Structure 1
Amino acid sequence: MEKISSHPDDSSAVGHDSSGHLQRTLDNRHIQLISIGGAIGTGLFMGSGKVVALSGTSIVLVYAILGFFLFFVMRAMGELLLCDLRFKSFADIVAAYLGPRAGFVLSWSYWLSWSVAVVGDVVVVAGFFQYWYPDVPAWMPAFFTMFLLLGLNMLAVRVFGEVEFWFAIIKIAAIVLLILTALFMIGTSYTSPNGVVASFGHMVEPQSILPHGLSGFFAGFQIAVFSFAGTELIGTTAAEAKNPERTLPKAINTIPWRILLFYILALVCIISVVSWAEVPANRSPFVELFLLAGFPAAAGMINFVVLTSAASSANSGVYSGCRMLFGLALRKSAPALFGKLSALSVPVWSLLFSGVFMLIGLALLFIIPEVMTVFTLISTISAILVIFTWSMILAAYIAYRRKNPAAHQRSSFKLPGGVPMAVATFLFLIFVLGLLALRPDTRTALYFMPLWFLFLVLAYNRSKASPPVTATTPTLN
């Protein structure tokens, strides 16, 4: 039988520092808000303006289609995680059902995806800081934010949960406030200083649905994928969640409602007030709504909220990246030092290594001072790695159905549509990956990323990494 990287435990076990376990200290409210916060990423607040510029009002359809398929990725992950609680993350599942090489490549790729995404998020924090202080070099608030997040993640995981809980509350409150304000402006036919009358009619006005044809519609998927990056974060909190059988299904099943409210309704309201042609491609449309409406004070408040949202996304990335390195160390696919925990049960050496890598990435600010240019490059790399992660989860699910049908029969949280739905979703993700070749600003990253995967395969073959004999997977027939 194959082995998994995780240590065995019962469903109520709480890890102890001495045994090398992560602690189950995240409550239901932490898991639910972390999952919501993961779904409301920097891509929504910062990148949605570019998607609107590319796709027009068909952005609603872009997010709806991607959200539809993402739900099935998360349901597949949920079934796999809950079929055996010895799985601590989706990386363990991939290693068990697709082999240790696949687990190695996925784990390091997911670590890179978050390390890159954190750099992008911190760059965005710097950009929003310049809203108030335009003369301050972008690297100063960026490095300050990075050091602050690394310090927070040095503390116990419950502190991370609390920080994300309140960050998510702020994000939710801001989006609800924006929706209510926009609905009031639409209801009163508010006319902005540039003469635009707020109306739902802007969603269907001439040239608004596909202003750049199908190519613009397809190009919108790249930023949309980056917007949803982090939704799978609940799959890395499984090892530190209390009562995962109850909290994980609840978090996953609410994904469609979160997409409907936080993405589709919010963007419909923004376009209805501002009109799609007035939504800026290089600034946050959330801030722009209040500026164009003549409310600069409210725009400043929303700018602060969007700044905290980017910081929240970066905080999640720091957490998730170092946990993935911790899992790699347990499988002997990374230096053993990365598997050591601090007195607060934090994988501190994994955190420090990730932090150094992220700080090096921030040096891009010295080379490319334009925030949106850095954001586009980084978001494309992250989108490619996120698509790879979701695809590997689906491939592991298909293998699980073939190798362990008994576990599927016992499951109380089955993927709707089963294997056919998993295959359809997998093919859709391959299609989206191909769309990145349509535009020059995303094509470069797509061409160079295969070198990363080749490097990982060669590194695995060189190290001959083999997982420790700690626990067995369910019987794979």
Structure 2
Amino acid sequence: MSSKRTALGHGPPQADGLAPAEALSEYAEPGDDGFRQTLSNLQIQMIAIGGAVGVGLFLGLGERLRTAGPGLVFSYLVVSVVVYLLMRALGELVVYRPTTGAFVSYAREFVGPRFAHLTGWIYVTLGSLAAVAETAAVAVYAGYWFPDLPGWVPSVLALCLIAGSNLLTARAFGFIEVAASSVKIAAIVLFLAAGVLVIAFGDAAGVRNEASVTHLWADGGLFPNGVWPAVIVMQAVVFSYSAIEIAGISAGEAKDPGGAMPKAIRSVVLRIGVFYLGSIVVLSMLLPTRRYSGAESPFVTALGSLGIPYLGGIMNFVVLTAAISGVNATLYASVRMLRNLAANGTAPRAAARMTKNGVPVGALLGIGTFCLAGLLLIFFAGAGNAFEITLHACAVCILFGWVAIFVSHLGFRREVAAGRIAPVAFRMPGAPWTDWLCLAALAAVFAAMVFDFSQPTWYYSLFAAVALLVVHNLTYEIATRRRTPHDSADGAPAEPR
């Protein structure tokens, strides 16, 4: 792939959302060199679903239901609106210029190199922590069959399997994600259908169950512990939707990004929203929400209550597959982010190394090594505790990544308004006002998360946010002093817009 990406000129939009005409500006992205455009529209959708429909739904949802009650559906609804606008903002940027660097590359072009460095390294940190969280979830699921097996054993095996799949070409990786995501989608659809049938006709069919629509308002109502827990839990809700932005990262390896991305974004946001909101409602009706916990998947808990042999075990296999798929997609994204940083001179040069088949092997080895070190947390703290610890640490990184997308989109819209960049047909509704509205919503979530004085460890998230900003600002200073301005990783001069 050429490192040249030409911004689109003025003219009537085509069916794919692009407007071809004379180029008004040009941006060179060295991070795109070496990648191959082989991913189809279906593969892009499945990669995004594979990242966003993982442990956040299949494991973390249990503890959230117990904490917030059936009213959790409103927490997800609020975040779903932000996620929809987030993906529309990212989609507009992707149609303008597809790149494997995604929002890191857009941050560099429309905000500045320091902001891009912070965005990239915080996302790499997120990817590494999320991989540890999801491999910890693998250990929790494996404990369903092997309760005496040390949690680090299945975690190491899963990580090796996932690293191996990421060594394959993007096309082969895409096929794996299509298969894994298909299992998740089929399982969720079947669960929702079966749950509705049990709720409606379970007694008449003689199925042993505790299902009742009254669970939605019984035992304390929609918010049995008050409204505040439903607000606090939004940090975990944000984690659930994290990795949906992988659709934007995969655009740099798409066959037809201009046509595929608008379709992928519309369908992915709709499907994931239905999966999450539908699952919360059905789970809340199958059992009282106080019966769920973070000790096992709420789907396993709900199906196990029906007394049907092997049903819980089958669902546990599905959620195990989902966790592995989630790590796979997360690693895919963070590896490409690290490679982009290296290609632009703000990460070690070794991370820029590519194979002849277009695999960023240098970045993969770097993040894989970090993940192996992170498994020590599972060894010492246990799989369940490791999952909760890394989940809260991830929330800060996710919020910053989403903020970066909206801020970069505001920069893009300013360039469009000034006439330096032509608009594209696939646009974020209501921008720039919706950008500011979403930024305010994310700021509120962050404030609720770091100033939750009801928790003795309320300051952990604030400390993590400050530490991330300080450390990565220092690494930016070190990186820029070790290279000449505007030099890429291979020594060729970059071409700023």
TM-score (norm 1): 0.92
Larger proportion of helix: 1
For 1:215, which of 194, 206, 228 is the aligned residue? Answer: 228
Tell me how far 1:330 sits from its aligned partner.
1.3
Single out whichever of 109-118 and 207-216 deviates more from structure 2. 207-216
For 1:401, which of 408, 413, 424 is the aligned residue? Answer: 413
Tell me how far 1:39 sits from its aligned partner.
2.6
CA contact (8 A) 2:69 2:289 kept: yes
How far apart, in 2, do the equivalents of 1:173 and 1:223 lie? 25
One-letter amino acid of the counterpart of residue 402, structure 2: W
Tell me how far 1:192 sits from its aligned partner.
12
Aligned equivalent of 1:384: 396
Matched, 1:70 2:83: yes
Aligned equivalent of 1:457: 473
**CA 1:260–1:92 in 2, change beyond 3 Å: closer, same or farther?**
closer
Aligned equivalent of 2:244: 231
TM-score (norm 2): 0.88
Tell me how far 1:109 sits from its aligned partner.
0.6
Tell me how far 1:374 sits from its aligned partner.
1.1
How far apart, in 2, do the equivalents of 1:445 and 1:61 lie? 24
**Secondary structure of 1:418's match?**
coil
Tell me how far 1:191 sits from its aligned partner.
9.8
Aligned equivalent of 2:441: 428
Single out whichever of 284-293 and 33-42 deviates more from structure 2. 33-42
Single out whichever of 461-470 and 145-154 deviates more from structure 2. 461-470
CA contact (8 A) 1:97 1:396 kept: yes
Cα RMSD, aligned residues only: 2.4
**Secondary structure of 1:412's match?**
coil
One-letter amino acid of the counterpart of residue 220, structure 1: V
Single out whichever of 304-313 and 30-39 deviates more from structure 2. 30-39
Residues 161-195 of structure 1, C-alpha deviations (whole Å, 9 max, x = no match):
11111110000011011111111111114499998
For 1:172, which of 185, 202, 207 is the aligned residue? Answer: 185
Identical counterparts, % of pairs? 30
Single out whichever of 268-277 and 461-470 deviates more from structure 2. 461-470
**CA 1:413–1:442 in 2, change beyond 3 Å: closer, same or farther?**
farther
**Secondary structure of 2:448's match?**
helix
**Secondary structure of 2:221's match?**
coil
Aligned equivalent of 2:55: 42
Tell me how far 1:442 sits from its aligned partner.
6.0
For 2:123, which of 110, 124, 137 is the aligned residue? Answer: 110
Aligned equivalent of 2:271: 258
Tell me how far 1:448 sits from its aligned partner.
2.8
**CA 1:82–1:105 in 2, change beyond 3 Å: closer, same or farther?**
same
**CA 1:298–1:407 in 2, change beyond 3 Å: closer, same or farther?**
farther
Runs of 4+ in 1 over 3 A off after TM superposition: 85-88, 189-197, 406-409, 439-443, 465-473
Tell me how far 1:88 sits from its aligned partner.
4.3
How far apart, in 2, do the equivalents of 1:190 and 1:445 lie? 47
CA contact (8 A) 1:123 1:375 kept: yes
Matched, 1:308 2:324: no
Aligned equivalent of 1:3: none
CA contact (8 A) 2:59 2:294 kept: no
How far apart, in 1, do the equivalents of 2:145 and 2:47 lie? 29
**Secondary structure of 1:363's match?**
helix
One-letter amino acid of the counterpart of residue 230, structure 2: F
One-letter amino acid of the counterpart of residue 381, structure 2: I
Tell me how far 1:266 sits from its aligned partner.
1.5
**Secondary structure of 2:233's match?**
helix
Tell me how far 1:87 sits from its aligned partner.
7.3
Aligned equivalent of 1:7: 3
**Structure 1 runs not aligned, ≥5 long:** 1-5, 12-18
Aligned equivalent of 2:13: none
CA contact (8 A) 1:192 1:294 kept: no
Tell me how far 1:409 sits from its aligned partner.
5.5
**CA 1:266–1:232 in 2, change beyond 3 Å: closer, same or farther?**
same
**Secondary structure of 2:347's match?**
coil
Aligned equivalent of 2:283: 270
Aligned equivalent of 1:16: none
CA contact (8 A) 1:42 1:309 kept: yes
Residues 312-357 of structure 1, C-alpha deviations (whole Å, 9 max, x = no match):
0101111111111110111111122211211221010110011000
CA contact (8 A) 1:122 1:314 kept: yes
**Secondary structure of 2:227's match?**
helix
How far apart, in 1, do the equivalents of 2:222 and 2:282 lie? 15
Matched, 1:347 2:360: yes
**CA 1:87–1:340 in 2, change beyond 3 Å: closer, same or farther?**
closer
Aligned equivalent of 2:310: 297
How far apart, in 1, do the equivalents of 2:261 and 2:380 lie? 42
Matched, 1:60 2:70: no
CA contact (8 A) 1:381 1:449 kept: no
**CA 1:366–1:428 in 2, change beyond 3 Å: closer, same or farther?**
same
For 1:318, which of 328, 331, 336 is the aligned residue? Answer: 331
**Secondary structure of 1:429's match?**
helix
How far apart, in 2, do the equivalents of 1:71 and 1:38 lie? 16
Aligned equivalent of 1:241: 254
